[in-house]
C-alpha cells in the first residue's frame, strides 16, 4: 500500500506540474508564420525562429515574447552553447540478485550442482539528484548523480537455498531491507551525426559514456517462509527474527556506446515537445560482498563478475518559459554478469570457483525533472 500511495502521489505531482507548465507556456512565446493586418487580410510575418534548435533563443532583448502568436519573433543567441542543470526525482522499480553453486565434491556437497543459494534484493525506492551539462549545436555532455531519498526499500530481500540438483528450493526466507548507501553516476557525451533518419526529420546522435551503480543494503527482521527439512539448522516455517541479518555491497561498472534519435515536434502557438529515444549497450564489471551477521562464525561471500548491460530510454520535455523546462523520462536496464567467487569463513579463505556464479539486475526507472538553462 505504501508503494502504491508513493507512486500515485509522484504521478499526480508530475501531471499537475506539467499541466501548469504547459498552461503557463501557452501565454509566453509560440510563434505563428502568419498574422492579420488591420484590414483583415493575412500577411506573412517575419521569419520565425525555430524553438526546437539549441542555437535559437525564446527570448528577445526585452524578455520573453508576450504576444508571439501575433508575430513577435525571438532573437537568436550570439552563441548556441547552453548550460543546464536538472533536478531529478526518480521512482526505481526492480531488483538486483546474485546466486552461486558449488563445484564439489566436498563433505557437504558430494557433487557439483547449481544453484546452491540465491538472494534477490528489491530496489523499489525513490531517488533524487542532479544532472549538469552543456549543449552546443553539434554535441552534448552531461554528468548525472542520484541517491536514495529515504532508507526504506519496498519489497525486501528473498533468500533461496537448494539442497540438491534438479529440485525445488528447500528453503525460502524474507527480510525487510534498508539503504546504507546508494549511488548512481552517469557521464555521457553525445554527438550529432545527421539531421535525417530514413528520410524523416529525426536527428541521429551517437553517444558514449560510463555508468556506475552502488547498492549497499542491510537485510533485517526476517521470517522463514519455507523449510522442507533437507537443510539442517534452519528455522521452521513461520519463525521470525529481529535485528540485522545480512549486509550486501554490490557495484556495477559499465562503459557503453549507443545512439539517440531526437525529434522536436513544433506546434503553432503551443510549446514544442522534444522527444529523445536512446539505446546503448556496454561491457559491465560487477563486484559484490555480502556479510552474514547471524552466524556464530563470520561468513563473507565475494564475487567478481563480468558481462553486459542493455539500456533503453525515452524522454520528453516542454519549455515553461525562457529558462525552464519540464520533462519525464522512462528507462529500462538489464544487467547480466558471470564470474568467480570465494568465501571467508572465520579466518579461513576458500578456493575460488565459478560454478553457477551469476549476478544480474533489472531496473525500470520513471524520472521527472525540472531543467534550468543558462
21 or 95, greater pLDDT: 95
| DSSP per residue, 353-373 | B-TT-EEEEEEEEEEEEEEEE
The confidence band for 300, taking pLDDT boundaries of 50, 70 and 90, is very high
The confidence band for 5, taking pLDDT boundaries of 50, 70 and 90, is low
The answer to whether the beta carbons of residues 360 and 309 sit under 8 Å apart is no
Question: What is the C-alpha to C-alpha distance for residues 131 and 203, in angstroms, rounded to an integer?
Answer: 22
Question: What is the C-alpha to C-alpha distance for residues 87 and 101, in angstroms, rounded to an integer?
Answer: 43
Q: To 5 degrees, how large is the angle CA 65–CA 31–CA 79?
A: 70
pLDDT at 64 over 50: no
Domains of the chain: 81-373 (2.40.128.90)
55 or 155, greater pLDDT: 155
Q: Return mean pLDDT, the chain.
A: 82
Question: What is the C-alpha to C-alpha distance for residues 59 and 74, in angstroms, rounded to an integer?
Answer: 5
pLDDT at 91 over 80: yes
C-alpha cell, 55: 542555437
The confidence band for 73, taking pLDDT boundaries of 50, 70 and 90, is very low
Return the C-alpha torsion angle 247, 361, 207, 87, nearest 10. Answer: -60
The residues with which 132 forms a beta bridge, in sequence order, are 85, 143
15 or 313, greater pLDDT: 313
Among 12-16, 318-322, 359-363, name the one with the lowest average pLDDT: 12-16
The answer to whether the beta carbons of residues 29 and 65 sit under 8 Å apart is yes
Please report the pLDDT score of residue 114 as a whole number: 87
Among 61-75, 202-216, 239-253, 347-361, name the one with the lowest average pLDDT: 61-75
Q: Which of 3, 100, 4, 58 is nearest to 302 (CA)?
A: 100
Amino acid at each position: 500500500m505504501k508503494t502504491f500511495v508513493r507512486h500515485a502521489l509522484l504521478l499526480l505531482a508530475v501531471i499537475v506540474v506539467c499541466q501548469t507548465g504547459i498552461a503557463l507556456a501557452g501565454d509566453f512565446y509560440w510563434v505563428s508564420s502568419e498574422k492579420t493586418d488591420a484590414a483583415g487580410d493575412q500577411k506573412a510575418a517575419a521569419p520565425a525562429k525555430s524553438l526546437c534548435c539549441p542555437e535559437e533563443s525564446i527570448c528577445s532583448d526585452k524578455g520573453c515574447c508576450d504576444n508571439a502568436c501575433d508575430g513577435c519573433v525571438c532573437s537568436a543567441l550570439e552563441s548556441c552553447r547552453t548550460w543546464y542543470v536538472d533536478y531529478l526525482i526518480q521512482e526505481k522499480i526492480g531488483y538486483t540478485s546474485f546466486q552461486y553453486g558449488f563445484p564439489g565434491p566436498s563433505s557437504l556437497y558430494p557433487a557439483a550442482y547449481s544453484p546452491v543459494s540465491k538472494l534477490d534484493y528489491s530496489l523499489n525506492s525513490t531517488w533524487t539528484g542532479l544532472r549538469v551539462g552543456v549543449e552546443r549545436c553539434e554535441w552534448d555532455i552531461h554528468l548525472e548523480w542520484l541517491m536514495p531519498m529515504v532508507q526504506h526499500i519496498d519489497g525486501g530481500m528473498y533468500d533461496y537455498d537448494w539442497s540438491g540438483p534438479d529440485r525445488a528450493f528447500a528453503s525460502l526466507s524474507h527480510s525487510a531491507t534498508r539503504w546504507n548507501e546508494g549511488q548512481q553516476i552517469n557521464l555521457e557525451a553525445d554527438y550529432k551525426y545527421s539531421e535525417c533518419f530514413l528520410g524523416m526529420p529525426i536527428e541521429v546522435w551517437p553517444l558514449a559514456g560510463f555508468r556506475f551503480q552502488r547498492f549497499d543494503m542491510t537485510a533485517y527482521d526476517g521470517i522463514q517462509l519455507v523449510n522442507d527439512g533437507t537443510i539442517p539448522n534452519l528455522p521452521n516455517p513461520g519463525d521470525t527474527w529481529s535485528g540485522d541479518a545480512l549486509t550486501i555491497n554490490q557495484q556495477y561498472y559499465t562503459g557503453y556506446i549507443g545512439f539517440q534519435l531526437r525529434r522536436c515536434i513544433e506546434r503553432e502557438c503551443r510549446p514544442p515537445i522534444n522527444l529523445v529515444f536512446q539505446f546503448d549497450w556496454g561491457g559491465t564489471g560487477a563486484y559484490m560482498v555480502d556479510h552474514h551477521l547471524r552466524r556464530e562464525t563470520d561468513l563473507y561471500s565475494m564475487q567478481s563478475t563480468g558481462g553486459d548491460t542493455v539500456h533503453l530510454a525515452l524522454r520528453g520535455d516542454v519549455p515553461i518559459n525562457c529558462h525552464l523546462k519540464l520533462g519525464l523520462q522512462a528507462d529500462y536496464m538489464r544487467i547480466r554478469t558471470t564470474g568467480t567467487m570465494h568465501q571467508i569463513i572465520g579466518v579461513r579463505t576458500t578456493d575460488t570457483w565459478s560454478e553457477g556464479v551469476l549476478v544480474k539486475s533489472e531496473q525500470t526507472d520513471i524520472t521527472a525533472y525540472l531543467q534550468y538553462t543558462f
